[in-house]
Chains A and B, each alone.
Chain A
């Protein structure tokens, strides 16, 4: 079945550091890819999405590029702030299967120290 792998379980950075969270996926069809962010005490909310190869999604200084060749959708931000501390989830929804299921990665907890 479809799967999403986030390599980093936890990341600790200082303000203004560069962030990379790795996301690789496996899907039988041509999935739409998502990044969600979850702040303490809240539900996950969409950061951005991408639907086709080489499409770049971006929001709030975060970005990721859909790479069908390497089956990746890595999240990057050039300069993190303390307010970016949250849990980040990579996810896919496979249009080819025609179902309503998403597959989420295990999540990456980001802590940014001022």
Chain B
């Protein structure tokens, strides 16, 4: 089996600050994802990457950047944190095929003061 590790687990930032969330996976999966989880809204896709150095925008990419410099890692940057923003950011991976199972990390909880 494998594991997805997200760091940090909790992230507190100030309004306007640039904040970076990191994700590592040891499944050797090609495809990785960043989702935002808000209560009552399900999971919304921010970015995904089908291979090293590939980036694809999801439905919620505005205000975020992503980076996939290695197959095993995928980072997400909040370019300018918004005050009163609170959400959980989930990283996931899957093998390189459509409709395969997603494997999730335990999330990074973001609070912006």
Contact = CB atoms under 8 A, between A and B. Distances in A.
A89 to B, nearest CB: 7
Interface residues of A, number: 28
Interface string B26-57: 00000101000000111111001010000010
B104 A44 contact: yes
A43 B92 contact: yes
Interface stretch (B14-22, B79-87, B94-102): B94-102
Contacts of B101: 34, 46, 49
Contacts, number: 59
Interface in A7-49: 9, 31-32, 34, 36, 41-46, 49
Given A44-B90, A95-B98, A95-B99, A101 B45 contact: yes
9 contacts: A43-B90, A44-B102, A45-B104, A46-B101, A46-B102, A93-B99, A97-B98, A100-B94, A106-B41
Given A43-B4, A93-B99, A9 B106 contact: no
A100 B104 contact: no
A51 interface: yes
Interface string B64-80: 00000000000000000
B113 to A, nearest CB: 23
Nearest to A51: B99
